[in-house]
Structure 1
Amino acid sequence: MSKRRPIARWVRGAVAAWTLAFLAASGASASPADSQAGRERSNRPHFVNIATLPKEELRALPAPVPLSTYLRTHKDKAAASPSQHHGFAGEGDLRAECAKHEAQAKSKKGWIKSRFESCFKRHYDLILRDRANTEAIGRLIFDAWVLGFAYDGKRRVDFAVSVENIYVAADSGQNARTWRIAQQFSHAIDTGESDPGAAVTEPTVKRRDDLLGEWNSTPHWNLVYTSPDNGPQHRTGNLQRVQAIIDMDTAVTSPSVDPYVEVASHQNLVRFDYAGPIVGKHKGTVFTQARVELVMSMKDSTVNESALHIHDAQKRPERTFPSFVGKTVPGENDPLHRVTDPNKIEDQRRHSIKECNKVWGDCTGTRLQCDEYPFASTREGSLKGDNRFSVRLIEGTDNNNGGKAIQATYDANRILNGDPFYVEITP
C-alpha cells in the first residue's frame, strides 16, 4: 500500500473531524470554518497567520504582553508558575541543538538530528480578525515544541511536547482568557512498508485541549508509543517491522471564534523492528527520515586508501575501472541501499575480484586486496548491471578496516535491508 493515498484520505477526514469537534465544543452551529482548508467562513471572528496581513492593519492593536501579565491586568488570579517538567533523558541537549537549526525545526518533519532524535519547534503568531474580516482585534503568540526520542534496543518512541512563551493582545471586547490551544496526536501504519501483523500501542492520552492559562502553568506533556514485542522471529524472515506515521494536529479555538486548524502540523515517520543481530542490538526504533552518512577521511591512516578510492569514484570516475565515457558512481548525491543477503553479498564480491583480475592480475598471496565501491553489501554493487562501480587493489589491512567502518555504520543506525545511506569522504 502506498503512503500517499491513505494519508490523503486521513487528512481530509481529520480536517472535518477537528472542525466539527471544535464547533461542538464552542456551542456553535456547524459551518465550514477550518482556517487551513481555504473554504468560506461563517460570520464570526477568526485567527489567521500574521504573515498574511499588511503591517498597517496591526497598528491599532495593543502590543502583545506575556500571558501572566495579561491575566493579572484583567483581574484574573495570578498565573501559577510553570510546573516542574519530568521529561526524557537528553531533552536539554536536544533543545539547545534544535535552536541552532531553526529553519529545519519549523518544517513539517522538523529537524531530524539522527535516527534516534528529532525536534520540531514552530513559532506561531496569529491575528484574530473581526467578523467582517477587515480589522485585527486580537493576537496570540506561542512556541510549539515536540522532541522525539527513538531507541536502539527498545520498540518504543517518546515525545516531549509543550506550548511555551505565550503572549497575547486583545481589543474590541475580546477576552483572551477564553482562548484555547489544542494538540492532538494520531497514528497510521504503512502496511506496504511493514511486516504482517504490524501494530502500534498508542498512549492513553493523545490530545490536550486547554485554556491559555492552563498551558502557561503546565506547558509540558509526554507521549509514549510502543509496538508489541513477539519475541525473535527474524530467522524465519519476519523482522516485525512496523512503519508508523505519527501526526500532531494543532488548533486554536474560543467559544466566539471560528477554529484555526492545522492538520498534520508536525509528522514523524517511525519504524519499529526486531531484526536480530544483523544490526547490533536485536530490536529498536528509528526515525526513518534521518539522513545516514558513512564518513571516512583521506587523512585517516587506517582507511586512507579506501577513502581515496571512494573519493576518486565519486569525484573523478574517469580514474576508475571499469572505465567508460560518462561514467558516474552513486553514494554522494544518490543514496546506496543496504543488502543483507549473505549469498548476494558474496556473489558481488566474487564478481568484483574478477574485475580486479582483468586489470591487475591475480593478487592472491600478496598484501593487496580487491576493494570495491559501491560496497558488496549494497544494491548498487558490481552486479547491479549498469557498471557504475569501481574496483581497485589496496592494502589488505586498509580494506578490512574500511569494511569494519561500514558495518559500524549499519549497526549504529539500524540500517536494514533496503535502507538508504550516503558516503561522505573528507580531506
Structure 2
Amino acid sequence: MLVLVAGLATAGPAGATAPSQLLPATTAALAPEEDDLRTECATHKEANTRKGWIKNRFESCVHQPVYLKLIDDKKRLRGELWFDLWILGFTYDGSRRVDYTSSIENINAKAVAGENPATWKIDQNFSHSINASASGPNPKMIKPAVTNRSETIAQWKAKPFWQLKYTSPDTGKLDAANTQIVSGMVSLEMRVSSPTAVPWSDPVMAYSSVRFDYAGPTAGKFKGTVFTEARVELVMSLKDPAVNESARHILDAQTLPERTFPSFPGKSVPGGSTPLHRLIDKDKQEKNRDAAIATCKDVWGDYSGTKLQCDEYPFASTKEGAAAPGKRFSARLIDGTDNETGGRRLNEMFTLNRILDGDAFYVKITP
C-alpha cells in the first residue's frame, strides 16, 4: 500500500489495515473485457506501481491502494484518506487509438474534530507527451475533450469511473519509408486538497508508453497501437511434435551454447535473458541465412537431397542473426517440416503483437 504524507511516499504503518482492503470493488460500470482484465490484474503485484501490470501489447492495468495523511501548514494532522486507484488500458490492432478507464473507488475518510471531509477534493489530471526522436515526421496525438476531474469524495463515490480516448491521425496511405510511428506517453497527475491542509500532489501517479503505427502487412493489420513496454515472448514446447526439434535446438543454444556450432569457449546466445530484435531488411536476412548454411555444411557436409534443413538461432529475421558480429548463433540440421513450422510460428508472433523492425522480443522453451 502507498502511504503519502505531504507529497512523500513511504512504507505503510506496520500492521495497519486500510478500509479499502475491507470493501469490495465496484465494477458495475465496467464492460466484460474490462472486468476480466481487472480480475486478473488484482493478482499481480506489478499493478501496484506507476507503470502498472502490462498483460500484453494490448492490455494494461494499474491498481494502487492508497493511504494518505492530510497535514496542515503547522504539521498537524487534519485527517486520513484511503482509496483505490484503478486504470485499465486498451490498445488496438487495427486502430490508432488507446482507451483508458480510470476510477477512484472504496473511498474512506477519517477526520480530526472540526474537520469536514465533505470539503476535501480529489483531482485527476491526464496529460500526454511525444518522443519525437522515436517517432516519424510530424507526430501527433489527439487528447480527449476532458482530461481533468476535480471533485469531492461524494462526487467520486457517485461516479467512480470515467473514460479517456487518445488517438493519432494518419494519412491512410502505406509507405514503407514512413510507417507513421508516433511514440507517446500518457501520464496521470493526482492531487488531494482541503481548505485547512497543505495540498498533496503526485505529478506522475501512473503512466503508460504507447506507439501508434501504419506499418501495413508486415505488422498484420495496416495500422494499430501497442503498449511498448509489454514483454513479448515466442513460446515453444519440447513436447510439441510439430516443433520439438526447433525447440530443442533453441534450448541448447540458450543453455548449452558451447556445445552448439560454431563452438568456442565463452560462447553465449541471446534471446532467453536478453532480447532479440526483429529485422525486416530482406538482404540482411539472406546474409544471416547464408552464414548459418555455411556452418551447417562445414559441420555436416552436403545435406541436399535429404529432408533436413539448416535451422538457425537466433532467427534470420533478427538483428542478432548468424551474420551479426561475434558469431553468437547456432546452426543445426533438423527436420525440414519442423523448421518451416517454427518459422510460421515466429511470423505469427510478429503479426499478432505488431512487432516492427527493431522491436524486442524473447524466446521461451517450455518442457
Judge same fold: TM > 0.5, yes or no. Answer: yes
Aligned equivalent of 2:209: 269
State the Cα deviation string for residues 95-122 of structure 1 (Å, max 9, x = none). 0000001x20011100000000000010
TM-score when normalising by structure 2? 0.93
Change over 3 Å in CA distance of 1:399–1:84 after alignment to 2: closer
Q: How many residues align structurally?
A: 360
Change over 3 Å in CA distance of 1:404–1:242 after alignment to 2: same
SS of the counterpart of 2:69? strand
Gaps of 5+ in 1: 1-34, 37-45, 67-81
State whether structure 2 residue 141 is matched by structure 1 residue 188.
no
Aligned equivalent of 2:111: 170
Change over 3 Å in CA distance of 1:64–1:106 after alignment to 2: closer
Cα distance in 1, alignment partners of residues 335 and 347 from structure 2: 19
**Equivalent of residue 36 in structure 2, options 71, 93, 96:** 93
State whether structure 2 residue 307 is matched by structure 1 residue 367.
yes
- Counting only pairs closer than 5 Å after superposition, residues 291-330 of structure 1 correspond to structure 2 as 291-330=231-270
State whether structure 2 residue 203 is matched by structure 1 residue 203.
no
State whether structure 2 residue 88 is matched by structure 1 residue 161.
no
Aligned residues: CA RMSD: 2.2
State the Cα deviation string for residues 162-181 of structure 1 (Å, max 9, x = none). 00000111113111001011
Cα distance in 2, alignment partners of residues 369 and 64 from structure 1: 61
Measured after TM superposition, the shift of residue 330 of structure 1 is 0.4
Cα distance in 1, alignment partners of residues 307 and 18 from structure 2: 72
Report which of the two has the higher share of strand: 2
The letter for the 2-side match of 1:275 is A
The letter for the 1-side match of 2:117 is A
State the Cα deviation string for residues 275-334 of structure 1 (Å, max 9, x = none). 000011111000000000000001100000000000000011122000000111000001
Cα distance in 1, alignment partners of residues 27 and 342 from structure 2: 50
Cα distance in 1, alignment partners of residues 133 and 7 from structure 2: 37
- Counting only pairs closer than 5 Å after superposition, residues 60-209 of structure 1 correspond to structure 2 as 85=29, 87-88=30-31, 90-101=33-44, 103-133=45-75, 135-209=76-150
The letter for the 1-side match of 2:325 is G
SS of the counterpart of 1:120? strand
Aligned equivalent of 1:414: 354
Aligned equivalent of 1:230: 171
SS of the counterpart of 2:296? helix
Cα distance in 1, alignment partners of residues 123 and 228 from structure 2: 27
Question: Equivalent pairs: percent with the same residue?
Answer: 49
The letter for the 1-side match of 2:51 is K
Contact 1:279 1:411 (8 Å CA) reproduced: yes
Report which of the two has the higher share of helix: 1
Measured after TM superposition, the shift of residue 227 of structure 1 is 0.5
Measured after TM superposition, the shift of residue 366 of structure 1 is 1.0
SS of the counterpart of 1:365? coil
TM-score when normalising by structure 1? 0.80
Cα distance in 2, alignment partners of residues 320 and 219 from structure 1: 57
SS of the counterpart of 1:234? coil
SS of the counterpart of 1:258? coil
Measured after TM superposition, the shift of residue 127 of structure 1 is 1.5
